[in-house]
With several copies, the nearest count.
Chain A
Amino acid sequence: MDDLFTPVAAPRPDMLTVSFESWEGPLDLLLALARTQKVDLREISILALTEQYLAYIDGARQLKLELAADYLVMAAWLAYLKSALLLPKEAQPEPSPEELALRLQLRLQRLHAMREAGARLMARDRIGRDVFVRAKPEGLRLVRRAKWDASLFDMLQAYGQVKARTQPVIHRVAVRPVMTLDEAIQRVGALVGAALDWTRIESFLPSGLDAPMAKSAMASSFVAALELARQGRLDIRQEGIFEPIFLRAATPAEERERLL
């Protein structure tokens, strides 16, 4: 399939028809030059290739062609590689020029392999060029039809929900066990008379209450204590925030004055 993959005309070193637009970068040019050595890419002489490339670039310069930077970078690198390869072995820098040369050779082999693979791929029997499928197939159609699934229970439940949702709503407050404020005032008032010394408020609550009732009793007893204190019937003391609350019977006014 030469029409699809036109191999780049291999340049002859003696014929400098230089056109850098036809090369896709220095590696491409190097590969084309390597192929003029007419040997397996594994056998090419990198030194010879380097000289070919440098001569090519030189020719281009004499023709005052503008050269892309990457061609010049490659030329500089190859000039370095060439001098390194010519150095006596002990004076060779790291990495060794042999390794650099081998690396270049491996890269050229890989590019060449892919170029050939691409050409072979393009040469296969391709749909629309070599083999043909039907121009206007009728097409297969898959029509999906929903099969609705619902049970009688689902429907009744839905109806029940509609009814429940739209029925007038009657709010009813549940009766919860509480200690009323009156109860608490009576209870605390009666008990505080017996307590001459400071006594924790908890001691004024009935024992054996369940949790909600205990809370209610505490709340009511506290409010009762405040009310009784306002009436001057008891004193309240708390050392600090969240500290225990103590109650005791109020000191008669004349005694308080005596103490003061």
Chain B
Amino acid sequence: MTQEPDDFLRAVEAALFVTEEPLTLADLRLHVGEGGDLPGALATLEQHYAGRGVNLVERGGRWHFQTAADLAHILRREREENRKLSRAAMETLAIIAYHEPVSRAEIEAIRGVQVAKGTLDVLMEAGWVRPAGRREVPGRPLIYVTTVEFLSHFGLSSRRDLPGMDDLRAAGLLDPVDLALEGLNAQSAVENDEEEA
């Protein structure tokens, strides 16, 4: 079955490989000349490439090579990269979780800091937050809520599972001095990581 391809066949193969556009028989003739059995060569090539990663196909009288349809995922490969949520995003997420539904202005009031446009985008991209209509007040601001994915990611069966203020205080999470120190440490740790990366 395998045989040395003759020069005519090789020429047809090479011409189809380099072409910008699918080629008609006439186009191919410009390259490979008038001699030789062109339909025969194309049939042989089509058969040779059948079942391979690259196939020779004919569409409306034009021939071209294309990758096998089942390999499309190879050509456009998605890769997941673990990334840590920024502190701003983390705080915004927590505020939405505890106070939902909240508007951006309300989040800012609670945080005491402006919320950058990208911060909400990141949370929405992560699938943890979604807009849930508008509040019927002047300006009709968008309001945000957490999603089912949020609950499942953080292992919560419902928002009622979020620890209350008393629990937070008992866990020392509301103690300003400790928190400030922790915050500083955490921050410098992040910066170190970035330097190392």
Chain A positions within 8 Å of B, measured between CB atoms, are 3-6, 24-28, 99, 102-103, 106-107, 109-111, 113-122, 124-152, 154-167, 169
Query: CA separation between A162 and B108, bound complex, in Å?
Result: 11
Output the nearest chain A residue to B125 by Cβ-Cβ distance. A146
Taking A114-B94, A156-B168 as contacts, is the C-beta distance between A132 and B67 under 8 angstroms? yes
Digit string of B168-197 for contact with A (CB within 8 Å is 1, else 0)? 100101111101111110000000000000
Contact check, B18 vs A135: say whether CB atoms are below 8 A apart.
Answer: yes
Taking CB atoms, residues of chain A closer than 8 Å to B75 are 132, 138-141
Task: Tell which of B2-10, B43-51, B84-92, B135-143 binds the partner.
Answer: B84-92
Taking CB atoms, residues of chain A closer than 8 Å to B174 are 160, 163-164, 167
CB < 8 Å neighbour of B113 from A25, A124, A127, A147: A25
Taking A130-B72, A155-B154, A159-B98 as contacts, is the C-beta distance between A103 and B181 under 8 angstroms? yes
B80 on the A face (CB < 8 A): yes
Taking CB atoms, residues of chain A closer than 8 Å to B93 are 118, 121, 150, 155, 158
Taking CB atoms, residues of chain A closer than 8 Å to B69 are 125, 130-131
Contact check, A135 vs B111: say whether CB atoms are below 8 A apart.
Answer: no
Query: CA separation between A113 and B152, bound complex, in Å?
Result: 23
Taking A132-B75, A135-B20, A161-B91 as contacts, is the C-beta distance between A148 and B126 under 8 angstroms? yes
Taking CB atoms, residues of chain B closer than 8 Å to A166 are 110-112
Q: How far is the CB of A187 from chain B (nearest CB, A)?
A: 37
Contact check, B94 vs A139: say whether CB atoms are below 8 A apart.
Answer: no
A–B complex contacts, Cβ < 8 Å, 14 sampled = A27-B112, A117-B94, A117-B98, A121-B94, A122-B90, A132-B72, A138-B75, A140-B76, A141-B75, A144-B81, A152-B155, A160-B179, A164-B174, A167-B174
Contact check, A125 vs B81: say whether CB atoms are below 8 A apart.
Answer: no
Q: How far is the CB of B99 from chain A (nearest CB, A)?
A: 9
Taking CB atoms, residues of chain B closer than 8 Å to A132 are 14, 17-18, 66-67, 72, 75
Query: CA separation between A250 and B29, bound complex, in Å?
Result: 95
B148 on the A face (CB < 8 A): no
Contact check, B87 vs A5: say whether CB atoms are below 8 A apart.
Answer: yes
B34 on the A face (CB < 8 A): no
Extra 18 A-B pairs, beta carbons < 8 Å, given A134-B65, A135-B20: A4-B85, A24-B113, A28-B113, A106-B177, A110-B110, A111-B91, A114-B98, A117-B94, A120-B164, A131-B69, A132-B67, A133-B66, A140-B23, A140-B31, A146-B125, A148-B85, A163-B168, A165-B176
Per the 8 Å Cβ criterion, residues 130-170 of B in contact with A are 152-156, 162-165, 168
Query: CA separation between A155 and B93, bound complex, in Å?
Result: 7
Output the nearest chain B residue to A140 by Cβ-Cβ distance. B19
Q: How far is the CB of A138 from chain B (nearest CB, A)?
A: 4
Query: CA separation between A125 and B155, bound complex, in Å?
Result: 6
Taking A133-B64, A135-B20, A156-B168 as contacts, is the C-beta distance between A147 and B31 under 8 angstroms? no
Taking CB atoms, residues of chain A closer than 8 Å to B27 are 140
Q: How far is the CB of B171 from chain A (nearest CB, A)?
A: 8
Taking CB atoms, residues of chain A closer than 8 Å to B25 are none
Taking CB atoms, residues of chain A closer than 8 Å to B168 are 113, 117, 156, 159-160, 163
B52 on the A face (CB < 8 A): no
Output the nearest chain A residue to B80 by Cβ-Cβ distance. A147
Contact check, A162 vs B111: say whether CB atoms are below 8 A apart.
Answer: yes
B77 on the A face (CB < 8 A): yes
Contact check, B65 vs A145: say whether CB atoms are below 8 A apart.
Answer: no
Query: CA separation between A234 and B19, bound complex, in Å?
Result: 98
Contact check, B76 vs A122: say whether CB atoms are below 8 A apart.
Answer: no
Query: CA separation between A165 and B109, bound complex, in Å?
Result: 12
Taking CB atoms, residues of chain B closer than 8 Å to A111 are 91, 110-112
